[in-house]
Structure 1
Amino acid sequence: MSSRECETLSPVLDTLHTGVAIYDAVSGTVLDANARLEEILGYTPNQLRELSVAEYTANTYPHTESEFHDRLSAAANGNPQQFMWRAKRADGELIWIQVFTSRQRPTADRCVHVEVRDITQHYDTHHRAELFWRILRHNLRNEAAVIIGCAEQAMKDPESEPFKKVISTIRSRGEKLGNIATSVRQIEDAVTDSKKSTVRVSAMSAVRDVANRVSAEHPDADIRVTERERMRIDINEAFEYALAHAVENAVVHSSNESPVVEITVGPSPNTGRTEIRIEDANSPIPAEEIAALNSPTVTTSTSHGSGIGLFVMKWCVESLGGEVSFESRDSGGNAVCLLLPPK
């Protein structure tokens, strides 16, 4: 049976709140789609017919076009599929979708019925709860344990020589608890803040404002900002939180007395989105820390006592429809990329 013999969607399906499409399981192309799918992905049915799956998939997540095709093939062979996907809308915004695939009818071996739901808000709520549970279970508990231990030591022998060191540890750990609380508030603000509060600005101007603030707090740091191409983005406080964490991390984790941080602004070569790239010459970010971003409940001895700056970057940028990627530079050091929808 050819794809031309697949049934088209009923006009009634345009009234649904669920995106519905018919896919050709062999080519992976859309044959027909309802109005709700157009709202979810931002493409008209005619546009979707001309696009490959890769063109509306977030290419910095571990989702590939071949994996999507495998799901379609399995459904065409009578094995319905249910999975989550990181999709890229026509305007460059990234969303989480839940996909259900099934064979359209027993005789239509090339045609797959696909239902799509936008679950971005549900996904954010679920993983935010996981993250906050991780913070309560490990970060806060560990810091509190150190403070209690130091306090008990100081009470036993307040005249000892290490007394000042113990008090210093208590103070630094208390400050760390305060920083964790601030980071949690920033994540909460980013997730709950309406996108109506965003303003459209020059990306270079927004980046320079944050860089100047960090420079004022760390006068020994050399923070350089370069514009490859003029870009405009929609931002709010979430953007400022994310970029400030990225730049400050590059400064405070440097072993040099005068750390150099290079920030470039321009279009992403692979997606056309606005890319803000922060480069340093520091030791690599531990792989466990990056892995924990997508699995907040999975912790290791390395990640137990760490801060949550990377989580702030991730949640704040994703709240604006973007994403964060981390790379190890060939010349040494790290590159943190904030990718935002182009405007």
Structure 2
Amino acid sequence: MTGHTPNRRSNTDNDRYGHLIEHIQDAVVEFELVDGVPVVVDVNRAFTETFGYDADAAMGEVLNELIVPVGLREEAQTLDSRTSSGEINYRRVKRETADGLREFLYRGIPYADDRVGDGGFAVYTDLTGIVQNERRARVMNRVLRHNLRNKANLIVAHTTQLLAAFEEQSADRTAAAATVERAANDLQQLTEEAGEINRVLNAAEGTETVDCVPTIRRVVATHRQESPDAVVETDLPASLDVRANRHLDVALDSLVDNAIRHNPAAEPRVRVCAAAEAEGWATIHVEDDGPSIPAAERDVVTGEAEITPTRHGSGLGLWLVKWTVETFGGELSFSESDLGGNDVRIRLPRP
């Protein structure tokens, strides 16, 4: 058997490669390892803009001395050692830029097997804005949820006490107290949905094969018990496997709850159906006979309209369902039900 001769890039391939690297928005630097130390061979435009060095000035310089903070040089040397041995590095790192210290996703990629130990490429994706937003969102989420929940509980408790203290229970007083109580309950619901959204978006778990029929039956049984005036029907197969996880319960619970809670009828009607589709998909329908979800709210949730100060949806329930379903690789859509109200559809991949 003859040995395999590795392919070499032609001049045309080199031109294409250079064109690609030059127009990548991430900072890219090619380096040689001289006694284990990375020395700059070439950089792309994003590198010069991010780190503030002209390409000519950077070439031939020690990379770590250009961009690695003094206190992190030892960490950088460890990464260089891994590159020397042919290992690919992925790590969050901090680097000195033209605008100060910033956080990056660093990927160190050594040359191919025939040149291991000679050098490679470093790619820096700026994560500073993403990381800052993540941290700010966590703080806001925790503080707001904690305070909203506590304040809502206080409002409910004190409204009940005030109403009991009135000597005369007039219709106006009763109506006012009921309005305040509903608003407080809505706040409690909002904090619960925000907490669940946070858990869904930050969950490390992936999807698995889930029989959605027992999940649907469990959700329906809960709402039949909690809302005895509602008529909750099902039309389900014996079983139906989909790609999901435990958060499917929460998404379905939110849809059934919305269908009941936002229906002013004395006897709200809800129907939950599920069926397999062709080409590896399944759809779960949650239908009702209540008022239609406003088109503006549907369009914002589906992405057909932009969020604005006056157009953002009335709550978090549909956002919770949308983002949960999207973590499964599915989608959320809306249509009109033959019950006269909404048909909210969850489309999920099948295993």
TM-score between the two structures when normalised by the length of structure 1:
0.50
1:315 aligns with: 323
1:331, CA displacement in angstroms? Answer: 5.9
1:1-343 → structure 2 map (5 Å cutoff): 161=170, 162-196=172-206, 198-228=207-237, 230-269=239-278, 272-293=280-301, 294=303, 297-300=307-310, 303=313, 306-329=314-337, 332-343=340-351
Secondary structure of the 2:310 match is coil
1:290, CA displacement in angstroms? Answer: 1.0
Q: Deviations over 1:1-21 (max 9, x none)?
A: xxxxxx9999x9xxx9xxxxx
Using a 3 Å threshold, how does the CA distance of structure 1 residues 171 and 220 change in structure 2: closer, same or farther?
closer
1:31 aligns with: none
Secondary structure of the 1:223 match is strand
CA RMSD of aligned residues (A): 4.4
Partner Cα distance (2:336, 2:257) in 1:
18
Partner Cα distance (1:9, 1:159) in 2:
88
Q: 1:220–1:259: 8 Å Cα contact kept in structure 2?
A: yes
Q: Deviations over 1:132-171 (max 9, x none)?
A: 89xx8xxx8xx99xx7xx99xx9xxx88854444333332
1:220, CA displacement in angstroms? Answer: 2.4
Percentage of matched positions with identical amino acids: 28
Q: Deviations over 1:172-202 (max 9, x none)?
A: 2222111100000111111111224x55332
Partner Cα distance (2:270, 2:239) in 1:
20
Higher relative contact order (CA 8 A, sep 6+): 1
Q: Which amino acid aligns with 1:315?
A: W
1:265, CA displacement in angstroms? Answer: 1.3
Partner Cα distance (1:277, 1:319) in 2:
18
Q: 1:195–1:320: 8 Å Cα contact kept in structure 2?
A: no
Give every structure 1 segment of 4 or more consecutive aligned residues whose post-TM-superposition deviation is greater than 6 Å.
Answer: 7-10
Partner Cα distance (1:9, 1:216) in 2:
69
Q: Deviations over 1:109-129 (max 9, x none)?
A: xxxxxxxxxxxxx8xx89x96
Q: 1:278–1:336: 8 Å Cα contact kept in structure 2?
A: yes
Q: 1:268–1:339: 8 Å Cα contact kept in structure 2?
A: no
Partner Cα distance (1:8, 1:159) in 2:
89
Partner Cα distance (1:222, 1:163) in 2:
32
Larger gyration radius, structure 1 or structure 2: 2
Partner Cα distance (1:165, 1:255) in 2:
16
Q: 1:274–1:339: 8 Å Cα contact kept in structure 2?
A: yes
Q: Which amino acid aligns with 2:176?
A: V
Partner Cα distance (1:257, 1:342) in 2:
38
Using a 3 Å threshold, how does the CA distance of structure 1 residues 202 and 287 change in structure 2: closer, same or farther?
same
1:42 aligns with: none
1:246, CA displacement in angstroms? Answer: 0.9
Using a 3 Å threshold, how does the CA distance of structure 1 residues 227 and 331 change in structure 2: closer, same or farther?
closer
Q: 1:251–1:259: 8 Å Cα contact kept in structure 2?
A: yes
Partner Cα distance (2:14, 2:204) in 1:
34
1:221, CA displacement in angstroms? Answer: 2.2
1:233, CA displacement in angstroms? Answer: 2.1
Secondary structure of the 1:277 match is strand
Q: 1:292–1:299: 8 Å Cα contact kept in structure 2?
A: no
Q: Which runs of 5 or more structure 1 residues have no equivalent in the other structure? A: 1-6, 17-121
Partner Cα distance (1:208, 1:170) in 2:
34
Partner Cα distance (2:14, 2:325) in 1:
36
> Bigger CA drift: 168-177 or 183-192?
168-177
Partner Cα distance (1:342, 1:181) in 2:
32
Q: Which amino acid aligns with 1:312?
A: L
Partner Cα distance (1:185, 1:296) in 2:
24
1:226, CA displacement in angstroms? Answer: 1.9
TM-score between the two structures when normalised by the length of structure 2:
0.49
Q: Which amino acid aligns with 1:178?
A: Q
Q: 2:334–2:345: 8 Å Cα contact kept in structure 1?
A: yes
Secondary structure of the 2:322 match is helix
1:284, CA displacement in angstroms? Answer: 1.3
Q: Which runs of 5 or more structure 2 residues have no equivalent in the other structure? A: 1-11, 22-129
Using a 3 Å threshold, how does the CA distance of structure 1 residues 166 and 315 change in structure 2: closer, same or farther?
same
Q: Deviations over 1:201-227 (max 9, x none)?
A: 322112111111111111222222222
Partner Cα distance (1:172, 1:267) in 2:
39
